[in-house]
Amino acid sequence: MAPTLQTTVTGIKFENPYLLGSGPPGTNAKVIAKSFDLGWGGVVGKTISLDASKVVNTAPRYGKLKDREKTDVVIGFENIELISDRPYATWLDEFRQLKKQYKNHVLIASVMEEYRKEAWQTIIREVQETGVDGFELNLSCPHGLPERKMGMAMGEDPSICEEVVGWVKEVSKIPVWAKMTPNVGDPKVPAKAALKSGADGISTINTILSVIGVDLRTLRPMPTVEGHAVPGGYSGQAVRPIALRHVMEIARAVPGVAISGMGGIETGYDAAQFVALGAHTVQVCTGAMLQGYECIAKLKDELLKVLADHKFERLEDLRGKALPYFTTHFDLVERQRAAKAAKTGANRDAETWKGEIKSETDSLTATK
């Protein structure tokens, strides 16, 4: 049977596991509709909050790390972009329209609020009335918002994660994914805190705090706004190994947890690695910004090819397949020692065997 990419995660049915990650690719209804038409399995909208007037962006707000030789290739991408600065009421209208027009396409609303129960519960109640399929709680934006005690300021504190997810779960009637920050020592701790309060899934990773570079002519850090800068969030292919590790750690710590994995996915082969480490869905943000929304066709073909190569019929057959092979350093040393001993033993056996043959041949020759 030809493999399928269809999958059901936290009760939501996806045509394929690819979602556009929260950010510029899902910044308004027009581009979200375009993504649905092109075949994305779902879209996580740009993060919204109740009062967009508090959100003021800067220009420039992006910085790129390029390959030293192929200077048109972007290896890493830094942004100091905030959450959406479009009015909340506009977003509610657009969510309503989209769900009327695209009943069978998955729309996840990404939300963030200040550290107040009433604010979180208001946004959840009002947004779920629009008919969106699920929530992603942005507990992880690393720049700008933490100055208002939002985003990563919540996600790096396990007790706040637990509390905020608890407030949301009291009123949410649809699945809730908590989006975690990689800017912590042990990603298992805040993820477990979110799950303890009933989060239905974990999205990871958001961007990694970074400084993209220093302009050596002016000696100013970049991206430079009126001569000054702040550390931003790093994404794109350079972060993929870190993202894979975060997904792996959480998948191993909480077997079966619904993870939406992201960070540097640009091909179906990248996505397959996230699935092999336990991801149920995958998200693409920077990859779509760099390659265009049309890359979804190639992403799906490549993931299907991985399934077919292994004779897997469904994503579930691939999911978590690489996890049992993580162990401790001590165990690696033991395995290496045992393998070496077995090899030496095998060599010794082969030598003995060769010797026996030789002496038998010699004696046969002698009796002739």
Ligand X SMILES: Cc1cc2nc3c(=O)[nH]c(=O)nc-3n(C[C@H](O)[C@H](O)[C@H](O)COP(=O)(O)O)c2cc1C
Q: Which of residues 23-42 bind ligand X (CB under 6 A)?
A: 23-24
The SS3 assignment for 33 reads helix
Cα dihedral sign, 158-54-285-230: negative
- 3-class SS at 277? coil
Q: For residue 239, state whether it binds ligand X (rule: CB under 6 A).
A: yes
Q: How would DSSP label each residue in 70-101?
A: STT-EEEEEE---S--S-HHHHHHHHHHHHHH
What gap in Å lies between CA 364 and CA 354, rounded to an integer? Answer: 15
130 binding ligand X? (CB under 6 A): no
The reply on whether position 47 binds ligand X by CB under 6 A is yes
- Looking at the Cβ atoms of 149 and 354, the one nearer to ligand X is 149
Mention every residue, 6+ apart, whose C-beta is less than 8 A from residue 170: 121
- The nearer residue to ligand X, 3 or 248, going by C-beta atoms, is 248
164, 149 contact by CB (below 8 A): no
Q: Is 141 a catalytic residue?
A: yes
Point out which span in 22-30, 215-223, 309-317, 332-340 binds ligand X (CB under 6 A): 22-30
Taking CB under 6 A as the criterion, the residue among 15, 18, 19, 22 binding ligand X is: 22
Query: In the set 16, 35, 49, 138, which binds ligand X (CB under 6 A)?
Result: 138
Find the Cα–Cα–Cα–Cα dihedral 75, 224, 52, 236, rounded to 10°: 0
Query: Which 265-284 residues touch ligand X, going by CB under 6 A?
Result: 265, 284
Residue from 130, 172, 207, 210 touching ligand X (CB under 6 A): that is 207
Q: Which span (9-17, 218-226, 253-261, 263-271) binds ligand X, by CB under 6 A?
A: 263-271
The smaller minimum CB distance to ligand X, of residues 251 and 262, is found at 262
250 preceded by cis ω (within 30°)? no
> In terms of CB distance, is 9 or 145 closer to ligand X?
145
Interface pick for ligand X out of 141, 184, 277, 315 (rule CB under 6 A): 141
Applying CB under 6 A, the site for ligand X has a residue count of: 27
C-beta separation of 181 from 152 below 8 A:
yes
* 3 versus 183: smaller Cβ distance to ligand X: 183
Q: Is 110 in the site for ligand X (CB under 6 A)?
A: yes
Q: What are phi and psi of 283, to 5 degrees?
A: -125, 150
What's the CA gap between 77 and 302, in Å, rounded?
24
Asked if 262 is part of the footprint of ligand X (rule: CB under 6 A), the reply reads yes
Q: Which of 64, 105, 143, 179 binds ligand X (CB under 6 A)?
A: 179
- Residue-by-residue DSSP string for 234-263: EESGGGHHHHHHHHHHHHHHSTT-EEEEES
Question: Taking CB under 6 A as the rule, does residue 79 contact ligand X?
Answer: yes
The one catalytic residue in 141, 161, 285, 295 is 141
Residues in touch with ligand X (CB under 6 A): 21-24, 46-47, 77, 79, 81, 83, 110, 138, 141, 179, 206-207, 235-236, 239, 262-265, 284-287
Catalytic residues: 141
